[in-house]
Amino acid sequence: MVAEIPVVDLGQLGSSDEPSTAEWDRVGREVCQAFSGIGFVYLKNHGLPNEMVKEVNESSGKFFQLEDNTKRKYERGVVDNQGYTAIGRERLSDDRRTQEFRESYDVKRPDGMFPDEEVPNMRPSVETFMAACKGLTERILKAMAIGLGQDPAFFVSNHQQMCSDNNTTCLRILYYPSLQENVPEGSIRCASHTDYGTFALLFQDDVGGLQVKDTAGRWIDAVPVPGAVLVNVGDILQFWTSGKLRATEHRVLIPPEEVRRRSPRRSVVFFVHPDDPVLITPLDGSSAYQPITAKDHTDLRFRQTYGY
């Protein structure tokens, strides 16, 4: 059902050249149309080589194969999003009986905690990729502001400190391990949720399993599109736009096919957040959402997810 999630060609915005005014307008309009509908969009010709994603997956894959005791040396905290999260540590489902099968490594700062001793090439591959994601993010933020009729610099000016101690933006490297036939009924790889921040850039492999809830409340498959990045709205962007741009529920199922079930799934997500002190208030002046700082909102969601 790829057709139900729009595909937008970034064109000049994905190159190193300065895009024309017409290109900024086109991309801004098309991205905002997608975000105001299903809340997701595939962006092609985004300018990030597939090799970058491959290098991150290969280096981090060595980490996920380490002994559990070794991985737990790098465990993240509740609101400190740098480090490892083991299977079962993170809960997105309200049903405590539901088992969620995934591991992850979050990177808020490229100079933060890394398993350098065990996987020395993980930090440099992640650092390179995060820098590229930041550049792409800034172009999307500018296009989005134009599409919403705002000052082109509005969103960029509120995301000045990405990947620092003053901003919750992070790269999440996800590993969904292979599973056997005796998986408990009701198990899932990632339960239904919305993302916390402005938007997320998702680079997924070809295993599949990601589903998105459309405007009619149906779950549709977010089929991987080779070479494209899947971008979705987070809570904060929905607050900012009084619900005009939608933070859509999504989940990751365990595919029923035996071949795929026994294959691990990999994805890399760049979660974009405003700077911590930014007060999120509806741009149209409405009272649809109560003002809240970016940090307060994200800390609240982290405590709900990890502090149970």
Domain ranges of the chain: 2-306
Q: What are phi and psi of 126, to 5 degrees?
A: -70, -40
Closest C-alpha among 223, 109, 231 to residue 170:
109
Average pLDDT, the chain: 90
Q: Is the pLDDT of residue 209 over 60?
A: yes
What is d(CA 94, CA 97) in angstroms, rounded to the nearest whole number? 9
Q: Name which of 14-28, 196-210, 251-265 the model is least confident about.
A: 251-265
Amino acid 134: pLDDT: 97
Residues 84-110 as b/e (b if ≥16 CB within 10 A, e otherwise) read: bbeeebbbbbeeeeebbbbbbbbbbbb
Amino acid 177: pLDDT: 83
Residue range 252-261: average pLDDT? 67
Assigned token pair, 148: 């919403």
Amino acid 69: pLDDT: 96
Q: In whole angstroms, how far apart are CA 213 and each of 226, 230, 302?
A: 22, 15, 23
pLDDT band, residue 302 (cuts 50/70/90): confident
119-178 pLDDT, tens per residue? 999 999 999 999 999 999 999 999 999 999 999 999 999 999 999 999 999 999 999 887
Assigned token pair, 50: 């597939």
Element (H, E) at 185: none
pTM, rounded to two decimals: 0.93
Residue range 27-56: average pLDDT? 96
Q: Is the pLDDT of residue 208 over 90?
A: no
Residue range 240-253: average pLDDT? 93
Task: Look at residue 257 and give its three-state secondary structure.
Answer: coil
Q: Name which of 25-34, 111-120, 198-207, 260-269 the model is least confident about.
A: 260-269
Looking at domain 2-306, what is its CATH homologous superfamily?
Answer: B-lactam Antibiotic, Isopenicillin N Synthase; Chain (2.60.120.330)
